[in-house]
Structure 1
Amino acid sequence: MQLHSKVKGKGQPLIILHGFLGMGDNWKTLANAYSKEGFEVHLVDQRNHGRSPHEEAFNYDLLAEDLKDYLEAKDLESVSIIGHSMGGKTAMRFATLFPDRVDKLIIVDIAPKYYAPHHQQILEGLTKISEAKLTSRTDADELLAEYISEKGVRQFLLKNLYWKTQEELNLRLNLSALKQKIEEVGKGLPQNASYAGKTLFIKGEKSNYIQESDKTDISDHFPDFEIQSIKNAGHWVHAEKRDAFFELSLEHLKS
């Protein structure tokens, strides 16, 4: 599968993997900042997201294989990776399967454990949008507001809208596959999977995705790990506290 990407800058290759229901474009501003620091930044859309191909099959082994195929297509030997949420799970799986292809690894607000499905409300709202044959972004926002009260979350999700025809808006997501495979999104790393390289976990202080009790699990898979917390940030830590996130991540990438 040939994943869609946007590449910014020249230098050391840096792959950025978005979270569930996101796309590479979500990281555009940070990508520009990394590119000014000597990185060739690849904003990758994972399968069933953004402009990448749609497939019914969806799990972290496949997402890791997709990334390996991408590196081969782009002739990239080893890369640094930043992965947020679902993208963090892909990055972890990739590192445990292909450790020699990873230079620096940064996992954003996710642990290697199992998470129960918790996106049902969002998926319901997005399904209504995809069925409604909408003709304006305002209408899409109003419809989604019936399911999601937080404006920031709605804005993030509505980045998936595009003009399917001149009259009709639709979503770039493969919703049917993602709804069907929602259990896969929460799956943890296989028990014996481990990566010996230095790994930085960045968490939002106000997010409950990485908890104190997860440290044992993290160290089982990533023995050389460090967790850094960013004050007053939630799960979308890279968007909420962009400058602090950039500084912290850059330090690790350049160490």
Structure 2
Amino acid sequence: MAVERRSVSRAGLSLSIAVSGAGRSQVPVVLVHGMGGDHTTWGPLARRLRRGGRTVISVDLRGHGRTGPAESYLLDDFRDDLAAVVADLDVDSIDLVGHSLGAHTALRYAIAAPDRIRRLVLEEIPPMPRDHADLAEDIAPSSTLGERIRGIGAVVLNPIPFLRFDRALADPVLTAFTVADPEWWRSLRRVSAPTLVVSGGSRSFLPPKHLRDLASALPAGDFVTIDAGHSVHRDRPVEFADAVCTHLR
């Protein structure tokens, strides 16, 4: 399957996207990777979606992949980059799938532009802490030993995303997730799209109860656990694709 590589300009940054598939009669699916990844992380899911006749757009976030580094790494910067990519597609609506930082980016975009999202999948999304109690329960991302070991194995198999990753973004992004933001939780009521929240279960550093709370706070939220740790789409690709494709149908 041929992959078309394109770039979208925003604020002096050239955002790299990969477009594949030819499902012109269907809503396109936009995939947004997590921290340290790039568009290639979605290979198995993208192939499954293309077999179903879908057009797939995989984004390289700022500081990742072919997009390259940026001067600012605010959480809303990632959201605004995604908004530029969606605007460039020139379609009425999209299905949106994100992992970790990419899921948080996707949800911020869905809050800002709810009418553009038909269906939404949030895999292992780090929610903003609501208060100091959330902070005390380690809601902020901090990977477990097992996840670090599995991550090293993934780097050995495909080192390019790791080599292109701008390490300068880690501190501002992780720091942002340590700031309590109750308004972010109130803004979830704006998301009208049916949304599937996917938890990696007890093997993940993100407490599943926080992701369940997030699903409950969304007007049309659903919740599923696939006990794979933080990178569900990488470590349990078939089960993850089954859940995503069922939800997007």
Q: Does 1:65 align with 2:80?
A: yes
Closer, same or farther in 2 for the Cα pair 1:210/1:226, shift >3 Å? farther
Paired residues of 1:56 and 1:177 also in contact (CA < 8 A): no
Closer, same or farther in 2 for the Cα pair 1:25/1:99, shift >3 Å? same
- Cα offset for 1:83? 0.5
Q: Could you tell me which amino acid in structure 2 is paired with residue 209 of structure 1?
A: L
Q: CA RMSD of the aligned region, Å?
A: 2.6
Q: Could you tell me which amino acid in structure 2 is paired with residue 54 of structure 1?
A: P
- Cα offset for 1:244? 1.1
Paired residues of 1:48 and 1:178 also in contact (CA < 8 A): no
Rounded to whole Å, the distance in 2 between the matches of 1:248 and 1:149 is 25
- Cα offset for 1:156? 2.8
Describe the SS at the equivalent of 1:72.
helix
Deviations 1:105-155 (Å, cap 9, x if unpaired)?
Answer: 000022523343526x99xxxxxxxxxxxxxxxxxxxxxxxxx961x3113
Describe the SS at the equivalent of 1:5.
strand
Rounded to whole Å, the distance in 2 between the matches of 1:82 and 1:21 is 17
Describe the SS at the equivalent of 2:186.
coil
Which residue number corresponds to residue 230 of structure 2?
A: 235
Q: Does 1:225 align with 2:240?
A: no
- Cα offset for 1:210? 4.3
TM-score (structure 1 length as normaliser)? 0.76
Q: Does 1:45 align with 2:60?
A: yes
Unmatched tracts of structure 2, length 5 or more: 1-9, 130-138
Closer, same or farther in 2 for the Cα pair 1:5/1:155, shift >3 Å? farther
TM-score (structure 2 length as normaliser)? 0.77
Taking the TM superposition and a 5 Å limit, the aligned residue runs for 1:80-99 are 80-99=95-114
Rounded to whole Å, the distance in 2 between the matches of 1:59 and 1:179 is 11
Closer, same or farther in 2 for the Cα pair 1:186/1:235, shift >3 Å? farther
Taking the TM superposition and a 5 Å limit, the aligned residue runs for 1:1-255 are 1=10, 2-11=14-23, 12-114=27-129, 115-118=139-142, 150=149, 152-157=150-155, 159-161=158-160, 171-184=163-176, 190-194=184-188, 195-205=191-201, 206-212=203-209, 214-220=211-217, 222-230=218-226, 232-254=227-249
Larger radius of gyration between Structure 1 and Structure 2: 1
Closer, same or farther in 2 for the Cα pair 1:190/1:243, shift >3 Å? same
Paired residues of 2:199 and 2:211 also in contact (CA < 8 A): no
Rounded to whole Å, the distance in 2 between the matches of 1:23 and 1:186 is 24
Q: Kindly, what percent of the aligned residue pairs are identical?
A: 27
Paired residues of 2:62 and 2:78 also in contact (CA < 8 A): yes
Rounded to whole Å, the distance in 1 between the matches of 2:49 and 2:55 is 8
Q: Could you tell me which amino acid in structure 1 is paired with residue 239 of structure 2?
A: A
Rounded to whole Å, the distance in 2 between the matches of 1:219 and 1:213 is 10
Describe the SS at the equivalent of 2:76.
helix
Q: Could you tell me which amino acid in structure 1 is paired with residue 235 of structure 2?
A: E
Rounded to whole Å, the distance in 1 between the matches of 2:151 and 2:210 is 27
Rounded to whole Å, the distance in 1 between the matches of 2:196 and 2:60 is 22
Describe the SS at the equivalent of 2:184.
coil
**Number of equivalent positions:** 218
Rounded to whole Å, the distance in 2 between the matches of 1:107 and 1:23 is 17
